[in-house]
Amino acid sequence: MSINIVVGAGHHDRRFAPVSVQLPQSFSSGRLTRADGEVLACQVEGDELSFLVDRLDVDQTGRYVFEPNAESGISGRGVKFKPSASSSTIDVRIGSRLFTTYHYGKDLPRPYFYPVHGPHGVCVTRAFPMEQVEGETQDHIHHRSLLVVYGDVNGCDHWSEEDGFCSQATRQLTQVVDGPVYGRFTQEIDWLDREGETLMSETRTAGFWSSPDAVKLMDLTLQFHASQGPVRFGSTKEGGICSVRMATTMDGDKGGRIENSVGGVGETECWGRPAHWVDYSGMVDGKHVGVAVFDHPMNLRHPTPWHVRNYGLFSANPFGHSDYKQSQLKDGSYTIDQGDTLTFRYRLLIHKFDAAKAKVGQHYHNWVNPPAVEIE
């Protein structure tokens, strides 16, 4: 038994685009072969088959054959997790390389990802305060690499690490799935007030794709549950539902480049401005690399405004409108009613070169307007 699959590029060039298709029944494994005979990595989870379309040009069609339960013919690739209960960390490896480590110990103010490695193996996020690296800036101790934070949640400070700050506490890991094409883990987190009582709960899912070294893809799905009563996100720039602190040598005031989906360049044209994505690129250890964060069209107030600074801070903040001078929404606060859930989705693209050379816009469409996939 074999299954023929057709993928249509549509209006966009496709490079390493994740796709999924529903199979007629559930399988445990299989082999995927392209029309030219090349065997590709694929992953089966129930009746869903996933793989990466490595190259399709505009309006081009690709054909594939899936053989259920056959040997994959692929080894040494994929996403692999190495959890450590003793240190409360999860190492994420893509192929043979460490991509990032997730830290969520009880002694930490909030969970974070560090290091975050991009092309050439360079770390694209700042080491401080986790490590001391000569030449790095040491401002804003709370900018811990890559994390989920906000400065006013029911009046509680979930942004800084100054006196009176509030913390996040992990309850449990509920799902850990890895494989030849993708991996993901899900975590239940409580956001606490100053007395240690739960303000709200969060279901956090981090996903990773087994793409080549030049293109790293990471997905975040964040579900905020008003489990204990209404939850109000206040209108402040001090926060970012998806926040990154760039490596110091990439800072905008040190030669780095900030640009967004509407053509804005630099802090002046990107800070507080709505955009589908923002990209921050620069040099690390002699290599030209960049990080783009994509805002999903179904997110609240899409396209989101961005709290992005020349000193390396980079965050998606849909609530800080009272500080955004260009905004017509003078109060950006938002309340989740008791029992309701507010969901955000983001994709991070870590790439070579700047946004233009990396074709960041095409990768955005891979996510929000993916190739059409069907079974013949």
Q: Is 187 in the same domain as 67?
A: no
Q: Is 13 in the same domain as 133?
A: no
Residues 6+ apart with CB under 8 A from 106: 88, 169, 170
**Residue 212, Cβ density class (10 Å: 0-12 exposed, 13-18 middle, ≥19 buried):** middle
Residue 374 located in a structural domain: no
Q: Is 124 in the same domain as 155?
A: yes
**Contact at 8 Å (CB) between 336 and 200?**
yes
**Contact at 8 Å (CB) between 95 and 210?**
yes
In this predicted model, what pLDDT tens digit does every residue of 254-265 receive, in sequence order?
Answer: 999 999 999 999
Residue 373 located in a structural domain: no
Domain total of the chain: 2
Ranges of residues in the chain with a pLDDT under 70 are: none
Q: Which domain holds residue 29?
A: 3-75
In this predicted model, what pLDDT tens digit does every residue of 136-171 receive, in sequence order?
Answer: 999 999 999 999 999 999 999 999 999 999 999 999
Return the pLDDT at 326.
87
SS3 334: strand
Residue 282 located in a structural domain: yes
Region of residue 168 (left: phi > 0; alpha: psi -120 to 50; beta: else): beta
For the chain, what is the total number of helices (H) and then of strands (E)? 3, 27
Return the pLDDT at 72.
84
- Cα(116)–Cα(314) distance, rounded to whole angstroms? 14
Domain containing 347 — which CATH number? 2.70.98
Q: Is 51 in the same domain as 87?
A: no
Q: Is 66 in the same domain as 121?
A: no
Return the pLDDT at 53.
97
- Cα(21)–Cα(18) distance, rounded to whole angstroms? 11
Return the pLDDT at 331.
95
Q: Is 45 in the same domain as 166?
A: no
Q: Is 282 in the same domain as 142?
A: yes
Domain containing 16 — which CATH number? 2.60.40.1180
**Angle, vertex CA 86, rays to CA 103 and CA 183, nearest 5:** 50
Q: Show which of 36, 54, 75 is a domain's final residue.
A: 75
Q: Is 159 in the same domain as 246?
A: yes
In this predicted model, what pLDDT tens digit does every residue of 36-89 receive, in sequence order?
Answer: 999 999 999 999 999 999 999 999 999 999 999 998 878 778 999 999 989 999
Q: Is 92 in the same domain as 240?
A: yes
Residue 58 located in a structural domain: yes
Q: Is 67 in the same domain as 104?
A: no
**Contact at 8 Å (CB) between 318 and 298?**
no
What is the phi/psi pair of residue 155, to 5°?
80, 0
Q: Show which of 32, 60, 75 is a domain's final residue.
A: 75
Question: In the chain, how long is the greatest CA-to-CA distance?
Answer: 64
Sequence letter at residue 232: R
Q: What are 258's strand-pairing partners? A: 280
Q: Is 13 in the same domain as 119?
A: no
Q: Which of 243, 250, 253, 213 is nearest to 148 (CA)?
A: 243
User: What is the chain's length?
Assistant: 376
Residue 53 located in a structural domain: yes
